[in-house]
Structure 1
Amino acid sequence: MAAARLLLERMGISPADLLEVRPPRPVAPTFAEYVPVVAAAVSPGTLRAYGSYWNRVVQAWGDRRIDEPRPSEIEQLRVQAQANVVVRSNSRGGRSAAENLVAALRCLYRKAVDDGYLDAADNPALKVAKPRRLPSTRRAIGDTRLAEINEVAATTGNDPALDSLLIRLHTETACRRGGALALRPRDLDTDQCLVFLREKGGTSRWQPVSPTLMRHLVAHHAERGDGDRNGPLLRYRNGRPLPVMLLVGRVGGAGFGSGPGVWS
């Protein structure tokens, strides 16, 4: 160390001078140029969550370089996003929009740091706080209402047997739509009354179910399946597998239909 210090002194260089030396940084692109790069690098789920907010950033700052906005400007954009949110019956003052905008910018700037356009310490989005998340308003469906839903599903619609089976599956396992649609005959452990669920984000789990539900799942496969234990379990009367999207009818009207649409 002493020899190194002596050499630096003879060269007229101080240790502080060495700390200030940085490799040349590439010129930062504009938001209009960089957002498509980030959008192409993230997962489809991330793109669905943040895509609309990145579009909003491009509309506001499209011609600016990504290293130009200061934290105060991001806060202003966050306030605008919260104020201009579409008011719905379940609206909570635009807090989710503000939170998602900050999260979208943090994701974008993480990529910018990785690409060498910014230092991690210069990330302006990290210096902007997200709105505090309010307690969830979700609640469980009461026994009476759940009984009404099951009754309507079992007595109306174009395929009551399938509708009732779907509701029973979701009620017992709390699985997502994707977990139900991905279910295969080989995922049924009839000895231990377990179903193997593959759900969002590549997660999987063995879930206990009642003997009644297991018996109906096995009977459903025996009646409508094609003998392939690796194919989809849930099928229409004609043996066609359920599509990725399912229709939910109105309770008290058409019931929980099983045609194309959205299951919730």
Structure 2
Amino acid sequence: MTADPSRVAAAHTLLAQLGVSVADLQAAPDSSRRMPTVAEYLPRVMAAATPSSCRTYGTYWARMAAVWGDWPLDAVAATDVEALQRHCVKHARRRSNGRGGRHAGENVISAARAFYTRAIADGLIPAGASPAHQVRKPRRLPSPRRALTPRELAEINAVARTSGNDVILDALLLRLHTETACRRGGALALRLMDLDIEQGVVRLREKGETLRWQPISLNLAARLHQHAISRGAVLPGDALLRYRDGRPLTSRRYDHLWKRLGNRLPWVAAQAISTHWLRHTTLTWVERNFGYGIARAYAGHTDSTGPATTTYIKADLQAVATALAALTGQPHPLATRLDDLGIRA
């Protein structure tokens, strides 16, 4: 249908009198769709986030809601994000192994980016309009962690086995982390069903929702099973690691363990040594003796970033078990015989 030229002319005249152009009408926002505020939108972001993201970014999201809570999403500018970053750096908790709040500054930008990435995906703001992505993240400094020496590792184990109110549990924890190089979260997530005492493997669920079977010595497997059963684990989904009263283990045990070790070994406190140093220790040994590919598999790394050759150097469970057998000096049912490889335990 062709528009009546006289009506079009009349419409243009009316718009001119109102001071409105056709372009203004086309760009006018939909009044029925109000831009949500930061506080209103945050629950939706948290509901869609993984548990690990909520743990990492939760504090910073709460801070965003406290500062910008009643602001519409599109009212926050890059300057506001940077100001919040400076505030978090300045008021970060001071720790012995801290970097002057640098980690807090990095996390607040990551949290804001995750928040606005979700807003873009939901169509609330256009792509490229995220204020958080306009702020440069601070460069991550090299980690001060290193592999422990045999003497240092022996001292840590000796003190753990001769002090504290549950030396059996502490000895198991140190042995588990030394053999598997797992993270704290992986150990705490272990259930009775995740332990295979015949094959000598545990199923680890760690960050990034990764899942893998990790070899452990048959001796450790038997002790873990005995520990769990004696402390009340019955159902397959029951926690494997438990306090003496039967409660599932929490991260507080690790905090108490390393505080006690630091009190008795001053060098542990001075260098802020933690469970993650055991991961560095084991993986360094595996890499030196069995190569990068097996160390990568031992660590449970599945990311595809890095050199293209990582695609071709994947190691299987048998290769990891072979490295474990050499590390512990104990045979493993999944391992290739060390004699066949010309390696001495």
- Give your verdict on TM over 0.5: yes
CA deviations on 1:213-262 (whole Å, 9 max, x unpaired) are: 23433554676566655544444567x3533445234128799xxxxxxx
In the alignment, which of 194, 207, 213 is matched to residue 214 of structure 2? 207
In the alignment, which of 37, 45, 68 is matched to residue 30 of structure 1? 37
Q: Which amino acid aligns with 1:126?
A: H
Separation in 2, partners of 1:202, 1:234: 20
Q: Which amino acid aligns with 1:29?
A: P
Q: Indicate yes or no: 2:128 matched with 1:116.
A: no
SS of equivalent to 1:53 = helix
TM-score (norm 2): 0.58
1:24-103 alignment, distance < 5 Å: 24=30, 26-103=33-110
Q: Which amino acid aligns with 2:67?
A: A
Q: Which amino acid aligns with 1:203?
A: T
Q: Which stretch of the first structure deviates more once superposed, 83-92 or 111-120?
A: 83-92
**Structure 1 pair 162–56 and aligned structure 2 pair: CA distance change class (3 A):** closer
Separation in 2, partners of 1:99, 1:29: 26
Contact 2:198 2:218 in 1 (8 A): no
SS of equivalent to 2:178 = helix
Q: Indicate yes or no: 2:261 matched with 1:251.
A: yes
> Counterpart in 1 of 2:148?
141
1:191 shift after superposition: 4.5
Separation in 2, partners of 1:223, 1:93: 45
1:170 shift after superposition: 1.4
TM-score (norm 1): 0.72
**Structure 1 pair 147–82 and aligned structure 2 pair: CA distance change class (3 A):** same
> Counterpart in 1 of 2:137?
130
> Counterpart in 1 of 2:268?
none
SS of equivalent to 1:175 = coil
Q: Which stretch of the first structure deviates more once superposed, 30-39 or 102-111?
A: 30-39
**Structure 1 pair 56–196 and aligned structure 2 pair: CA distance change class (3 A):** closer
Q: Which stretch of the first structure deviates more once superposed, 195-204 or 169-178?
A: 195-204
Separation in 2, partners of 1:185, 1:205: 15
Q: Which stretch of the first structure deviates more once superposed, 41-50 or 212-221?
A: 212-221
Separation in 1, partners of 2:102, 2:66: 21
SS of equivalent to 2:74 = coil
> Counterpart in 1 of 2:169?
162
> Counterpart in 1 of 2:311?
none
> Counterpart in 1 of 2:113?
106
SS of equivalent to 1:120 = coil
**Structure 1 pair 38–145 and aligned structure 2 pair: CA distance change class (3 A):** same
1:149 shift after superposition: 2.0
Q: Which amino acid aligns with 1:49?
A: T
* Count of residue pairs the alignment pairs up: 241
1:41 shift after superposition: 3.6
Separation in 1, partners of 2:48, 2:231: 41
Q: Give the fraction of aligned pairs with identical amino acids, expressed as a percent.
A: 47
In the alignment, which of 236, 242, 245 is matched to residue 248 of structure 2? 242
The structure that is helix-richer by fraction is: 2
Contact 2:233 2:240 in 1 (8 A): no
